[in-house]
Amino acid sequence: MATALAGKGGSIYVPGTPNTPIASIQSWDLTIDAENYDATVLGDNWKQFVAGLRGWNGSVNGFYNVVSDTTGQFQLYNALLSGASIALQMQTAAGGGTFEGLTNITNLAVSDTVNGLITIKFTFVGTGSLQHNP
């Protein structure tokens, strides 16, 4: 029987020195996709597909901390403004492994409400392969 893992032990890093988790993060999401090209021809009774390109993207969600988190949120913010690629390492709960690869930050959303905390969301797209270490 498989053992479920609690997400509370997860984290996300901008690899380097120091290797400190990005501050004030509540969640991260990762999607891996695979294109399939339609190779169906006249006379086929069933669709035929050829495996195509792979890709990945995701988001990082948490509380706004860009000013004081100079090795995390501030790095993502600078990568968005400069157009520079930045490495991300996403760690699941202890024992669940890591995903790591080079990303381009594609969006930054900040939400400030009168009766709540200021939140931040970065979205990214992977550029190149995604490494998984179980």
d(CA 130, CA 56): 8
pTM attached to this predicted model = 0.90
Q: Report yes or no on 51 lying in a domain.
A: yes
pLDDT of residue 20: 86
d(CA 64, CA 68): 10
Strand pairing report for 25-38 and 86-91: unpaired
CATH number of the domain that residue 88 is part of: 2.30.110.20
Q: Report yes or no on 2 lying in a domain.
A: no
- Total domains present in the chain: 1
Q: Report yes or no on 84 lying in a domain.
A: yes
Q: Report yes or no on 1 lying in a domain.
A: no
pLDDT of residue 2: 64
Q: Report yes or no on 3 lying in a domain.
A: no
Type of residue numbered 26: Q
Q: Report yes or no on 46 lying in a domain.
A: yes
pLDDT of residue 133: 92
d(CA 49, CA 56): 20
Residue-level pLDDT, tens digit, the chain, 134 residues = 667 778 888 999 998 867 789 999 999 999 999 999 999 999 999 999 999 999 999 999 999 999 999 999 999 999 999 999 999 999 998 667 899 999 999 999 999 999 999 999 999 999 999 999 98
Report whether the peptide linkage leading into residue 18 is cis, meaning its omega lies within 30 degrees of zero.
yes
Q: Give the torsion through C-alpha atoms of 71, 19, 94, 64, to 10 deg.
A: -10
What is the Cα gyration radius of the chain?
18
Q: Report yes or no on 91 lying in a domain.
A: yes
Q: Report yes or no on 76 lying in a domain.
A: yes
Domain containing 82 equals 8-133
